[in-house]
Structure 1
Amino acid sequence: MRVDVYTPLLLSLLLGAVGPRAGRRGAPAVAARVLAGAAVVSAAATTWSLLLLAATLVGAAPPVVADAREDGRPLPEPVPETVAFVALALLLFLAHRFLRAARAEYLARRTLRLLCEGQPPDTELIVAASPVAEAFAIPGSAGSPGRILVTSTMLGALSPEERRVLLAHERAHLTHRHARLSTAVSLAGAVNPLLAPVRHAVVFLVERWADERAAAAVGDRACAARALARAALTAGGRRPSRGLGFTDRAVTRRIAALQIAPPPRLWLPAAPVLALGALTAMSAADATGDLFQLLEPILVRG
């Protein structure tokens, strides 16, 4: 308990340092899935570790102390009370961050879906008259398909071949449910700020994943790179949008990646990330068992 309970926190720090580097070595589709999964597991494990630390305050409750003194039993002290109170304060703070992040995700989705109101249910592409160059993949809700929202300015800036790339890119976001991955790592990063580098890496990788799918769909990587470059130039220096945009996420790196052969779908670079995710869960499980053993006399008497 004295060591295992802190291990998930240390491993999540290591995941934040190693994960993005490992993600750059493999195919975006594999790397995004593995990093997102490891981030969710690590966030859950670190939250559980904080709960375990806060739970040790049970041993300091007045009724428990009175019973122990009456029976002449020593009180278990897995961690100092100061650490337990700090863990409790962190839990409250991280719960606030989680709720705020969840609300932001919900409002962003609702705003995008409101833009599609009034459209026929089988309409995939919605063109909005706007002077701003934008393109979004809008995930569908229960019973409704996803939509692609593109502004007239964006479409007007692209050639027919480049428009095919754009639409293939946005369809890839919808087909592979990239919004779920992005939401998952955003919430994981909210409850564990040490995972912020992983969140940024996954958001970038889902864009790279969609780039690769678009290049494969049109059969021309050079055309995909040109479309991405032209879309970025048309958008200019605007602030990145909340949607799964076609024009943000380290565009220069994405263009450079499209100018070389696609990366192989190898799982070997993902092995360290998978191992870190598994170790955080195992450490949290071990700490749970240790805490129950320490508090067993109190729980049985209660």
Structure 2
Amino acid sequence: MAGRARLSAEIERWPVAGAFVIARGAKTHVDVVVATIDRDGRSGRGEATPIYYHGETAEGVHETILAQAGAIADGAGRAEIRSTMPRGAARNALDAALWDLDAKAGRPVGLPDPAPLVTAYTLSLGRPDEMEAAARAAGPRYPLLKLKLAGEGDAERVAAVRRGAPSARLIVDANEAWTGRDVAAEAAALVPHGVELIEQPVAAGRDDLLDGVVSPIPLCADESCQDRTDLERCRGRYAAINVKLDKAGGLTEALALIAEARAIGLKVMVGCMLSTSLGLAPAFLAAQGADWVDLDGALLLARDRPDGFAYDGGTMRPAASSLWGGA
């Protein structure tokens, strides 16, 4: 019989390489919360990044995780955690730790061995000349670039990036900055530059602004799609969704979300918050077969964990000695 499990959690601060700038502001560090479940001489770990636009904080996520200590000690598994906790970073950390523990204990997890993936590399928001210089530096290494946009002047930013990286595939993230703008016209201005996807053009909750909009570039829901309960609102307005484990509340929900999204004809991007390779590991499993992969969270940090993902340009693969049993 398995022994009682012990749950612990820690807040960690990781510096960003320079600054990560989006329409909502700049980040010079990220605070992540790591949940650890110890049982029978094994440890399962899961990392989560608080969803700041939902008001989550590292301290709050830490407290929410530790509130589950009794349930974990009594043997709660992924199904119980998923049914009793709301979506968000705390549930993601616990869900990942339970997946990790199961994998390390040799229990079947029902997922195929993962293959290497090509991930996007994100260019921070800046002036056109700054973004062109960043593209010129990143383009030779990364075949897929993701641009952060801000509304005014976006066409100039994208044109500059295309000059800097003439061969790269481009996707853009408006981060809700096109609310109140003519989305179809904004998208049309990006067509000459070969943009293949536009994330979250309007504010979450204002998705009705997309009713009747015919965009020449597919639109992707990010903030507008947290978990499966949001899919119906996305139908007919977006062509794709961006699945992030911190939003969905873990790999367990993310896999179900991907399956249901595909069943109603939506394409799938699997993305991430700023995080270390420990946080990316379960997302890497979810991203197998995704239409777009945006798992560069560790690449944007000043340093990563030992035995993190190995990146050959934009191709990521687990290190020979994985830091997460499920990867």
Q: Give the TM-score taking structure 2 as reference length.
A: 0.23
More helix by share: 1
Q: Give the TM-score taking structure 1 as reference length.
A: 0.24
| Structure having greater relative contact order (Cα 8 Å, sep ≥ 6) | 1
Query: Rg bigger for which structure?
Result: 1
More strand by share: 2
